[in-house]
Amino acid sequence: MPSSPSDLAPSRSPPGAEAAARPGYRLVVEEPLALDCGISFGPYTIAYQTYGRLNAARSNAVLVCHALTGDQYVAEPHPVTGKPGWWETMVGAGKVLDTERYFLICANVLGGCMGSSGPMESDPATGKPWGLSFPVITVADMVRAQTRLIDHLGIETLFCVIGGSMGGMQVLQWAASYPERVFAAVPIATAARHSAQNIAFHEVGRQAIMADPDWCQGNYLERGVRPERGLAVARMAAHITYLSEQALHRKFGRNLQDRSALTYGFDADFQVENYLRHQGITFVERFDANSYLYITRACDYFDLAAEYGGALANAFRGTRTRFCSISFTSDWLYPTSENRAIVHALNAVAANVSFVEIATDKGHDAFLLDEPEFFATLRGFLDGCARHRGLETP
Amino acid sequence: MSADGNLPVVGADGLRGDLRLVADMIEAGSRVLDVGCGDGELLAHLAQHKGVDGRGMELSQSGVNACVRHGLSVIQGDADHDLKDYPSDSFDYVVLSQTLQATRQPRRVIEHLVRIGRRAIVSFPNFGHWRIRLRLLLNGRMPVTPVLAHAWYETPNIHLCTILDFIALCEELGVVIERSVTLDRSGLPYRLNPRGRLANLMAEQALFLLRRAGPAA
């Protein structure tokens, strides 16, 4: 493992190179999508993965919405890194999102870099990678694209739409824009709008990428290079926001990395430095820098209340969807207060909503980790919804 | 948030005595908000036996999680802060069981209850009970009883009242008392005029069915 981002070999093949060998499905939608930026975009591709089986009534479909740097490989080894799926703790036979009971769908978001249309893919008009000529997309655009996939799969109403972080934003957008198609909605560790602090951290990441000479004004793929140092630094900064201070201290404290004394230099003396560098380096193996710009922008633009006259409650007026909002005590990226604001808006329209705050010191990342109380709560909520939906127990 | 959970006697169906009386006041198939729903005992009973569309609010995280785990729709919140979000007339009944005395602004809470619900059902421990009066009179110490089991320095019950106090507040707020029941400590009803001085001396708890002034909805 290289010990710092600057050791990265710039010749590594981009994440899309072995696309043909990737598991999963691709849907090409011919009919253009009317994007929020005003552009009519299409045809476009949605890469997606499914787990479990759709029942005869088509009533057991669960749409999992992935977070900023997630993808459709929810519960299987990642085709690039070989690591376990990002939500294998949650998804599988007998698990909370039980593949014996539910039909799970997860699509790579529009603007992503794992097969769905995004800045890394080729613009059919030029045959070259889109780069910065890819239109700026929003969370609402991502969700619009997903509706085409759900149509294609012949599903009228999703049993549940679930996701954490940016995935939670998509859940909220689904529930607001297509309430009749969402029986249950589970927004986890998320917010109905990006705060100034959220935007600020994303801007640090984007600036890190754009400051890398190998970014080449976004045209790095044509030049045969990649802004790996910039992307790695973006990931390092973001990764700090995913952890709590307590968790960082518990894991690393001031422990030194493979040495017994300070070196009086700028090597990774501390374990926490080494850890962050490792996070940065492994991230660039699987993620595209321009995608990172586009997707962080989509999060920053997210402000659900603004779409509904400034009052978040208006986004949910008349909803019959059953909501379960979940936050984590040590999450300072999308704190409980932001999640509670969603609950208040739902209460204001007398929606059916449950809200739990899970006590943990694991920070924002807790939604990806093994948190028994989180799982037990979610299992109870889903079981209750399944009874109301008339889904058989497996 | 049931501020004083140690009411021992439960009915044949496992429901706490005072909750059984609350349940009896609620029409089948109605929409109910239970403020301070604890572990969801009443909501679960109403859903199972009366086809009620129930929601809950609970202060303790363990209570909320237990409710959601059992498929009940419950949020973490408290009567003082979170009732203002609910629109008027959004429920048929709003229940506040053994919690009023633990709120910071009972008067505001009652106003919200009758605003949000077509009916409100409120139960509370009676501070006018003879045992409480006698303890204060004879011992000169803050009374600790089976119904109010906390010492003064750790009690969540910061706004205790007597039955007559409560009735006076309802009159002041123009809140209509449709039914009232006085109870002993195990939640069994007394055959006393609930608005009389004797009930105020003998009953350990009281239960009121309220609505705001104006024609019954």
ipTM here: 0.82
User: What tens digit of pLDDT does each residue of A57-80 get?
Assistant: 999 999 999 999 999 999 999 999
pLDDT of res. B11 = 47
Task: Provide the pLDDT confidence category of residue A216 given band limits of 50, 70 and 90.
Answer: very high
Q: What local confidence, expressed as pLDDT, does residue A9 receive?
A: 35
Say whether A354 and B91 touch across the interface (CB within 8 A). Answer: no
Provide the residue ranges of all domains of chain A, joining segments of one domain with +: 5-12+198-298, 24-196+305-389
- CATH number, domain A24-196+305-389: 3.40.50.1820
Phi-psi map region of A309: left, alpha, beta (phi>0 left; psi -120 to 50 alpha): left
Judging contacts by C-beta atoms under 8 Å, the chain B residues touching residue A321 are none
Inform me whether the pLDDT recorded for A315 exceeds 90.
Answer: yes
Q: pLDDT grade, residue A190 (50/70/90)?
A: very high
Q: Which of B141, B76, B122, B25 is nearest to A356 (CA)?
A: B76
What residues does each domain of chain B span? Answer: 17-211
Residue of A nearest to B81 (CA): A344
> Which pLDDT value is given to residue B18?
81
Predicted local confidence at residue A394, as pLDDT: 63
Comparing A43 with A19, the larger pLDDT belongs to A43
Handedness of CA A331, A336, A337, A340 (dihedral sign): positive
Residues of chain A above pLDDT 70, percent: 94
Report residues of chain B scoring pLDDT below 50.
1-12
pLDDT value at A147 more than 60: yes
**Is the separation of the CB atoms in A113 and A294 below 8 Å?**
no
**Nearest residue in chain A measured CA to CA from B64:** A356
B65 near A CB under 8 A: yes
In chain B, residues with a C-beta closer than 8 Å to the C-beta of A381 are: 68-69, 71
What tokens were used for A14?
Answer: 């981009």
Grade residue A3 by pLDDT with cuts at 50, 70 and 90: very low
Residues of A catalogued as catalytic? 165, 331, 364
- The shortest CB-CB distance from A350 to any of B61, B67, B90 is to B90
Tell me which chain A residues have a C-beta less than 8 angstroms from the C-beta of B74: 354-355
The predicted model gives A225-252 an average pLDDT of: 96
In this prediction, residue B213 carries a pLDDT of 87
Quick check: A128 contacting B, CB < 8 Å?
no
Q: What local confidence, expressed as pLDDT, does residue B5 receive?
A: 39
CB within 8 Å: B91 and A353: no
Q: What is the CATH number of domain B17-211?
A: 3.40.50.150
Is B145 in CB contact (< 8 Å) with chain A?
Answer: no
Report pLDDT digits (tens) over B115-132: 999 999 999 999 999 999
Write down the pLDDT at residue B8: 37
If pLDDT is split at 50, 70 and 90, which confidence band does A367 have?
A: very high
Ramachandran area for residue B38 (φ above 0: left; ψ -120 to 50: alpha; else beta): left
* Position A284 confidence tier, pLDDT thresholds 50, 70, 90: very high
Task: Give the pLDDT score at A10.
Answer: 36
Query: How many CA atoms lie within 13 Å of A263's alpha carbon, on the beta-carbon side?
Result: 10
Distances (CA, A) of B10 to A127, A166, B13, B20, B42: 75, 47, 8, 9, 12
- pLDDT at residue B124, rounded to an integer: 95
Q: What residues does B32 pair with on adjacent strands?
A: B54, B93
**Tens digits of per-residue pLDDT, A151-172?**
999 999 999 999 999 999 999 9
Mean pLDDT of A294-323: 97
Question: A146: which residues sit within 8 A by CB, 6+ positions away?
Answer: A46, A63, A65, A107, A170, A174
Q: What is the spatial distance between Cα B162 and Cα A328, in angstroms, rounded to a whole number?
A: 41
CA distance B115 to B106: 14
The rounded radius of gyration (Å) of the Cα atoms in chain A is 21
State which CATH number among 3.40.1190.20, 1.10.1740.110, 1.10.3470.10, 3.40.50.880 fits the domain covering A5-12+198-298. Answer: 1.10.1740.110
Instruction: Determine contact, residues B60/B66, Cβ cutoff 8 Å.
Output: no
* Of the candidates A202, A176, A156, the residue with the CA atom closest to the CA atom of residue A312: A176
Please indicate whether residue A7 or residue A169 has the higher confidence score (pLDDT): A169
B79, B59 contact by CB (below 8 A): no
Mean pLDDT of A114-141: 96
| The pLDDT of residue B13 | 61
Band of residue A14 on the pLDDT scale cut at 50, 70, 90:
very low
